């Protein structure tokens, strides 16, 4: 990149931060024609250089709340590391989250891996950030280089000198926000981006053990909040609209009907999570149908039924049953199915909430034989 005739070269290499993976470094050099070059390339405080687009990189990077939640649960919250929120729009084309990870793996997708901006690390909370995220007029997220606060000194890169690692700051004050509040993924205004857009990243610091929180009470509180994530998922899905359910089923169908996505042993936990989610989605859509049973929607009400009127046409119930059956049959052994479905708190919590399982608590669930366990799963799907 050339700025004011100076050549800025960016490189992704191991970060100076221990165990932080790759980081992004920049060097500067003066043009050969410059007879009296300065000692450094300088940006005054408030001057920013647009390094380009961070997200979205593809149309499918724009996701709705409902499918984004499903994806994060499947991949144990890995995708949230790279999530940003778009600004509020008024043209009806609004998405809720910009997500640059692969739907099947939860890791950065190919195009994102080729984008050097994805490897910029966070500051230690003390040093001045040299990267700022901002929305462009279309709502896309760009990374800008420089010291955005005028109270800071100018940003300098020595000419032909040592490389400088670039850092962004996610905002420490929001690390104390409870997980169930930040996962609402509500769109935010342009002004609020520099605070709210980073909320998913703040949770990652706690998950990975490098939180900035110093007070034990605050850190313990955040850990308890994060531990409640999966229980909150069950509650959230029970509040899904018909349209949310259909979009979520469609997302899962695309994952498991894609021949390129081959299920290997390391994917079985992902399949188990998908099965639990599909069962919860099936029960939610059945509850919606029961809620509207006998209700005639006239022209004044059908527009606000949140997708109920199209459930039959889209065969959402049948599709959910077919998908859940397919996922269940990944395990030919009933014992293997039972063992993995009893291996995590989330599975136990979700299945206990299913009346067809006829188990009031995890203890009763664990007491089921392997064959009985599969039969009760099939009873939810009405499979012989």
Map out the domains of the chain as residue ranges.
1-57+115-169, 59-96+173-227, 231-291+299-381
What is the number of other CB atoms lying within 10 angstroms of the CB of residue 340?
18
Helix (H, G, I), strand (E, B) or coil at 250: helix
Q: Does residue 218 carry a pLDDT above 80? A: no
The reported pLDDT for the residue numbered 51 is 96
The reported pLDDT for the residue numbered 210 is 47
The CATH class, in words, for 1-57+115-169 is mainly beta
Residue 235's pLDDT band (cuts 50, 70, 90): confident
CA distance 261 to 240: 27
Dihedral sign, CA of 155, 156, 157, 163? negative
Q: What number is the average pLDDT over the span 151-166?
A: 91
The reported pLDDT for the residue numbered 38 is 93
Burial of 28 (0-12, 13-18, 19+ CB in 10 A): buried
Q: Does residue 207 carry a pLDDT above 80? A: no
Helix (H, G, I), strand (E, B) or coil at 91: coil
**Element holding 134 (H helix, E strand):** strand 131-135
Higher pLDDT: 39 or 297? It is 39
Helix (H, G, I), strand (E, B) or coil at 221: helix
Residue 307's pLDDT band (cuts 50, 70, 90): low
Residue 188's pLDDT band (cuts 50, 70, 90): very low
Q: Does residue 78 have a cis bond before it (omega within 30 degrees)?
A: no
**Stated pTM of the model:** 0.79
């Amino acid at each position: 990149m050339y700025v004011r005739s100076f050549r800025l070269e960016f490189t992704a290499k191991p970060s100076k931060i221990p165990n932080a993976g790759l980081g992004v470094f920049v060097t500067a050099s003066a043009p050969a024609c410059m007879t009296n070059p300065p000692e450094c390339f300088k940006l005054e405080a408030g001057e920013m250089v647009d390094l380009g687009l961070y997200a979205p990189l593809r149309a499918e990077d724009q996701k709705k709340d409902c499918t984004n939640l499903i994806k994060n649960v499947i991949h144990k919250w890995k995708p949230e590391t790279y999530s940003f929120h778009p600004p509020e729009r008024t043209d009806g084309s609004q998405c809720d989250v910009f997500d640059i990870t692969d739907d099947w793996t939860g890791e950065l997708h190919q195009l994102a891996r080729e984008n050097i901006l994805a490897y910029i690390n966070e500051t230690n909370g003390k040093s001045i950030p040299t990267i700022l995220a901002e929305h462009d007029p279309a709502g896309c997220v760009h990374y800008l280089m420089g010291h955005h606060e005028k109270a800071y000194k100018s940003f300098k890169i020595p000419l032909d000198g040592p490389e400088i690692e670039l850092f962004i700051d996610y905002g420490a004050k929001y690390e104390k926000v409870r997980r169930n509040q930040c996962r609402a993924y509500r769109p935010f205004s342009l002004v609020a981006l520099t605070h709210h857009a980073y909320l998913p990243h703040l949770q990652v610091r706690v998950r990975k053990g490098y939180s900035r929180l110093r007070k034990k009470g605050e850190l313990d509180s955040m850990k308890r909040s994060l531990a409640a994530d999966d229980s909150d998922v069950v509650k959230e899905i029970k509040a899904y609209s018909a349209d949310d359910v259909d979009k979520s089923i469609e997302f899962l169908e695309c994952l498991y009907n894609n021949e390129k996505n081959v299920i290997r042993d390391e994917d079985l936990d992902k399949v188990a999570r998908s099965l639990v989610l599909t069962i919860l989605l099936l029960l939610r859509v059945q509850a919606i149908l029961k809620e509207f049973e006998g209700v005639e929607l006239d022209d004044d009400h059908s527009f606000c039924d949140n997708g109920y009127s199209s459930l039959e046409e889209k065969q959402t119930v049948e599709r959910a049953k077919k998908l859940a059956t397919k996922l269940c049959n990944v395990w030919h052994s009933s014992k293997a199915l039972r063992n993995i479905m009893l291996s995590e708190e989330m599975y136990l919590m979700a299945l206990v909430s299913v009346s067809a399982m006829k188990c009031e608590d995890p203890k009763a669930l664990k007491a089921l034989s392997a064959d009985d366990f599969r039969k009760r799963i099939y009873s939810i799907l009405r499979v012989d």
